[in-house]
Amino acid sequence: MKRSELSEFEIEEEGFKLRLCRKNGDTQIVHAAPLATAPLAAAAPAGASLVAAAPVEEQGISIVKSPMVGTFYASASPESPAFAKVGTKVGADSIVCIIEAMKVMNEIHSELSGTITEVLIENGEAVEYGQPLFKVKTA
**What residues contact 101, with CB distance under 8 A and at least 6 apart?**
68, 69, 70, 71
pLDDT digits (tens, 9 = 90+) for 67-82: 999 999 999 998 999 9
Q: Is-above-0.75 flag for pTM?
A: no
pLDDT digits (tens, 9 = 90+) for 84-109: 999 999 998 999 999 999 889 999 99
Angle (CA) 122-126-129 rounded to 5° is 110
| Closest residue by Cα to residue 110 from 129, 128, 85, 127 | 85
Number of Cβ within 10 Å of residue 136's Cβ equals 25
| Closest residue by Cα to residue 23 from 42, 49, 2, 53 | 2
Annotation: CATH topology of 61-138: OB fold (Dihydrolipoamide Acetyltransferase, E2P) (2.40.50)
The DSSP secondary-structure symbol of 97 reads E
Q: How confident is the model at residue 12 (pLDDT cuts 50, 70, 90)?
A: confident
Which residue has better confidence, 84 or 18? Answer: 84
Domain boundaries, the chain: 1-55, 61-138
